[in-house]
Structure 1
Amino acid sequence: MKQNQNFSETIFALSSGRLPSGVAVVRISGPKTRFVIETICGGLPIPRQAELRTFRDRLANPVDRGLVLFFPNPNSFTGEDCGEFHLHGGRAVVDSMISLLYTFDDCRLSEAGEFTRRAFANAKFDLTVAEGLADLIAAETDGQRRLALQIASGSQVELYSSWRTDMIRARALIEAELDFADEADVPGSVSDQVWFAMQDLAEKIELHVADGKRGAIVRDGFRVVIMGAPNAGKSSLLNALAGTDVAIVSDEPGTTRDLIEIKLDLGGLPVLITDTAGLRHTEGKVEKIGIERALERAQSADLILSLTDISNPIPAPLVDVGANDVLRVATKTDISNGKNALSSFDLGISAVSKDGIDDLLGLLKLRAEHAAGNLSDPLPTRRRHMELLGETSREINRAVSDIGAPLEVRAEYLRRASHALGRITGDVDVEDILDVVFSEFCIGK
């Protein structure tokens, strides 16, 4: 979606969510903010202090009575003059206020993310902070909230800015040697000062990229795939974990043909659990597709729950999940009558009696927490971060390893590395991604 970038216009929107509600907040930002507030409220309130006012239309008819706030530029969220009208949250009240705001020249409803985009354009924060705000709004678990809040507070940009400063300093030393080699106060060789430092920086960035797996788990979820032979109890387990019948359960083999997924919140982390088709040799075209999808999903899973019906153990063929972590689970323990020991399994459960279900949830929580690790560290959370960090480390490694190249060429590698890192924070050349980033926001933010 192409954002309107005419900042001479004043924008407004309902910022408080779905109506009706107890209170509704209508936000406004732009050059006409002062005039709009003065006209509707009979004067400006003291900056950054809420005042009780009667809101009136252009004919002095009352619209509502509530609080108004004014935030003069540049000390506001967007860096422009901003205001807030706190109304009663009825649809008719809010509609009347929105209609009134439309009567002012050069005032219009904002697009999704336009308030935040103006804040970015006015250097109130960098692009990673904007993305952190988007993640904070979208957070569904406490872990997602904590990670998003950390990014929105600027910890990520501080780290990346320090790395970029190191690269700029290295380039300055190289260029000083090139331009002022005869001067006494310029080092005769930059190799000891620059290349070892840059190699160390590349290693730090690569470790940071590896930590992106943890960030993806917190942001997108710890992925668990249930696998096993037909009638091993996969769909019954999914229903037991979901607390409702989300999958069809039948004695007929091959009932599940497609992937069925639920999301759980375990210890503040999102855990995505996928039920899959039973693994067996079959001639059925549709069932074959279901089995192929099951194996494909297993390849990208963080944990495999390999289920076996302990009352009638049937080995599941075709299982090749590489190095994925596997938890072996015995099912239908309520009807096994002790015929088969559980010693060869990590856990025994019954979806009918619910025996072992809490233990399984506890294990899933521990696995997810272990995979997510310490959330106090700044983590890359988005694909574009990972790609640009990878490009940064590759360019640094080229500069370090290409010892036969002229210094000018090696300095160019470092310039490209700092350019890639700057694109993450929005310091350089990011117009091609701004629309994508800010379209993730809701209207009013």
Structure 2
Amino acid sequence: MNTIYKLVKTFKYFHRYASSISNPLTDCTIFSLSSGYGKCGVSVIRVSGPRTKYALQTLVGLRHELKPRYAYLKSIYHPENKELIDKGLVLWFPGPASFTGEDSCEFQVHGSLAVIAAIMDALGKVPGLRPATAGEFTKRAFFGGKLDLTEVEGLADLIHAETEAQRKQAMLQSTGALSRVYDNWRRRLIRCAAHLEAYIDFAEEENIEDDVVMQLNKELRRIITEIREHLNDQRQGEMLRNGVRTAIVGAPNVGKSSFLNMMCQREVAIVTPIAGTTRDIIESTHNFGGYPVIFADTAGLHKQTQDIVELEGMSRAKECLQNADLILLLTDARELLANIANNNGTLKEYQSSYLQQLDLDENALADKRIQLITNKIDLLSTTELQRLTQIDVLRISCKEPNTVELQPFLQHFEGVLRELCGQPSAEHPRITHTRYRQQLERCIEHINIFLDEYAPDIYPDIAISAQKLRNALKCIERITGHVSSNDILDVVFKDFCIGK
């Protein structure tokens, strides 16, 4: 009986890793406008908390129980002067079957500013109600166990999504695609930690099999392999979420600003025949085939200048290159043909020499995706154009963008973005936040420390080594939010709008 008691006590101890954190909500009921601000046909005002039903009774005078999740057309009155404010739809969501897990309701009313202000004032007069802060509805859903932290962040990304690919990725994350992956590792680490604790406490007394630790080590190595495969994604999810930072570089007057204007289909940058017009970084975000691209037009790179403003512009251009995900290297078509003909070189050799001419370290850019593009093909003769077509290089004319060369270039560029960002899928969800990557890397570090310390020929204090396993578990729990951290929560919820 003593042994059974110890086992139960041990597993109860580790069960706290599997249980959700406690709900810190108070008795306060919150309300806010959940639809967009400004004049519109219909506005939605949301209420959540224990006094939601009382608020409904106060504003619409309920004579009978409302059926959950049914829309009722009701007259809405101010609680103080009993004046009719509006007639609208009222929906009742009793907890826990609601977004927040609490009793909730919605008022769907006419979207005039006066109606919204009157209903918000009426709710403010109901005892126990207060206006919601930014992200408070979602925060209550998190603390109520309706969402974990990855799903919360996916919901935030869905609200801010601007392209179709971003929407797909955010939707997958908000519905638990990443959560299921991390929860699988979490549960397996909990089981490993529990088995290890049982081995520490009872191995000598109860003849627990000696291969427990061996099987434990195998499982931990499998987890490491899976996490490394997950990490080896070339930051596709993060690029899709944040946008592909694309630097447009080249010598002065090769058409970088014209290229930016052509890709964004508007006059973003000033274009003149004078070399060196662009001095600072000019950025513009564009939805290209469903993928977000942040184009950055940079100052022309060359060595023949003593102008301090131009030198500063080139310094900023090189810094932009270091932070870019994709580098578009623009060249003059005639210069490209002449260089290859004179040096009998290949396109790759030309690109290397071109980077050196621009005073760029090719080795420093080794991990960058560099795409060579030749511009000004409209200035080529028929013979020169035929020679250029024999070279496997992307060809465009920013001055005459309607040439037959443009469509193949756009299709190729979209393919490059697809390679960089990948295709969002539920089977292989991508890491979308740097925070996830950092915690997963730390998780691997802690597991490796445990495996290294608990080698069969070392015989350390296994109880001390077991702490490394618990630390690995905490890294996963910090991603999903099972370990409460105010710093993490503040970062997650700061970008939510009020009413969500």
**TM-score by structure 2 length?**
0.84
Distance 2:131 2:70 in 1: 25
Give the match for residue 367 of structure 2: 323
Give the conservation status (yes or no) of the 8 Å contact 2:196–2:213: no
- Structure 2 CA distance for partners of 1:337 and 1:227, relative to 1, 3 Å: same
Q: Deviations over 1:31-86 (max 9, x none)?
A: 22111111111115322111001111122211011100111122111111111000
Deviates more, 1:8-17 or 1:281-290: 281-290
* CA drift at 1:410: 2.6
Aligned partners of 1:185, 1:302: CA distance in 2, in Å?
A: 57
State the alpha-carbon separation in 2 of the partners of residues 212 and 430 from structure 1. 28
Aligned to 2:189: 167
* Deviation at residue 98 of structure 1 after TM alignment: 1.0
- Select 2:309's aligned residue among 272, 276, 286: 286
1:41 aligns with 2:90: no
- Give, in whole Å, the separation in 2 of the partners of 1:174 and 1:81: 42
Structure 1 residues 212 and 25, CA, compared in 2 at 3 Å: closer, same or farther?
Answer: farther
Indicate the SS of the match to 2:204: coil
Task: Please show how residues 85-96 of structure 1 align to structure 2 within 5 Å.
Answer: 85-96=107-118
Deviation digits for residues 122-180 of structure 1, max 9, x if unmatched?
11121111111111111111111111111111121211111111112222222222211
Contact (CA 8 Å) 1:395, 1:414: kept in 2 or not? yes
Q: Report SS of the residue matched to 1:413.
A: helix
CA distance in 2 between partners of 1:16 and 1:409 (Å): 53
Change (3 A) 1:436 1:138: same
Compute the RMSD of aligned alpha carbons.
Answer: 1.8
Pick one of 443, 449, 457 that aligns with 1:392.
Answer: 443
Question: Which residue pairs with 1:180 in the alignment?
Answer: 202
The Cα of 1:110 is off from its aligned counterpart by 0.8
C-alpha distance in structure 2 between counterparts of 1:40 and 1:55, whole Å: 5
**Which residue of the other structure, out of 302, 317, 329, is the alignment partner of 2:325?**
302
Displacement, 1:6?
6.0
In the TM superposition, what is the alpha-carbon distance from 1:183 to its structure 2 partner?
Answer: 4.7
Distance in 2 between the 1:122 and 1:325 partners? 44
Q: Does 1:10 align with 2:29?
A: yes
- For 1:207 and 1:108, locate their aligned partners in 2 and report how far apart those are by CA, in whole Å: 47
* Alignment correspondent of 2:168: 146
Map of 1:240-319 to 2, 5 A cutoff?
240-281=262-303, 282-312=305-335, 315=354, 316-319=357-360
Following superposition, the deviation at residue 275 of structure 1 comes to 1.0
Asked if structure 2 preserves the Cα contact closer than 8 Å seen for 1:327 and 1:346, the reply is no
Partner residue of 1:364 out of 413, 418, 424:
413
8 Å Cα contact 1:330-1:345 kept in structure 2: no
1:210 paired to 2:207: no
Find the aligned partners of 1:18 and 1:364 in 2 and give their Cα distance. Answer: 38
1:410 aligns with 2:465: yes
- The one-letter code matched in structure 1 to 2:370 is V
Moved more, 63-72 or 297-306: 297-306
Identity over the aligned pairs, expressed in percent? 39
- Which residue of 62, 73, 77 corresponds with 1:56? 77
Q: Is the 8 A contact 2:327 2:371 kept in 1?
A: yes
Q: Secondary structure at the match of 1:182?
A: helix
Distance 2:369 2:101 in 1: 49
> What residue number does 2:47 align with?
28
Matched, 1:76 2:98: yes
Q: Which amino acid aligns with 2:70?
A: Q
Deviates more, 1:289-298 or 1:184-193: 184-193
Report the counterpart of residue 397 of structure 2 in structure 1. Answer: 350
Q: Distance in 2 between matches of 1:227 and 1:344?
A: 21
Q: Which moved further from structure 2: 205-214 or 62-71?
A: 205-214
Corresponding residue for 2:349? none
- Deviation for aligned residue 1:240: 0.8
Counterpart residue type for residue 54 of structure 2: F
Partner deviation per Cα, 1:205-232 (whole Å, 9 max, x = no partner): 1221222601112101122211110000
Residue 190 of structure 1 aligns to a residue whose secondary structure is helix
In 2, Cα distance between equivalents of 1:435 and 1:332? 51
**1:373 and 2:422 correspond:** yes
Q: Is 1:119 aligned with 2:168?
A: no
CA offsets 1:184-224 (integer angstroms, 9 cap, x no match): 55111434201122122112112212226011121011222
The CA deviation string for residues 338-368 of structure 1, in whole angstroms up to 9 with x for no partner, is 4473244511111111033333221121011
Provide the rounded CA distance (Å) in 2 between the counterparts of 1:214 and 1:234: 26
Contact between 2:236 and 2:430, CA under 8 Å: does it hold in 1? yes
> Any conservation in 1 of the 2:25–2:140 contact (CA below 8 Å)?
no
- Do 1:45 and 1:68's aligned partners in 2 also have CA atoms closer than 8 Å? no
CA distance in 2, matches of 1:374, 1:184: 52
- Is 1:177–1:189's contact at 8 Å kept on the other side of the alignment? no
CA shift, 1:264, in A, is 2.1
Deviation at 1:181, TM superposition (A): 1.6
Q: Does 1:438 align with 2:493?
A: yes
The Cα shift of 1:374 comes to 3.5
Preserved CA contact (<8 Å) 1:351 1:357: no
Task: Output the amino acid matched with 1:66.
Answer: G
- Structure 1: distance between partners of 2:360 and 2:451: 43
Q: Post-superposition shift, 1:8?
A: 1.9
Q: SS of the counterpart of 1:180?
A: helix
Cα deviation, 1:240-262, whole Å, max 9, x if unaligned, reads 11111111112222111111122
> Looking at CA atoms only, which structure, 1 or 2, has the larger radius of gyration?
2
Aligned equivalents of 1:285, 1:344: Cα separation in 2: 38
State the Cα distance separating 1:312 from its structure 2 match.
5.0
Q: Number of residue pairs matched?
A: 441
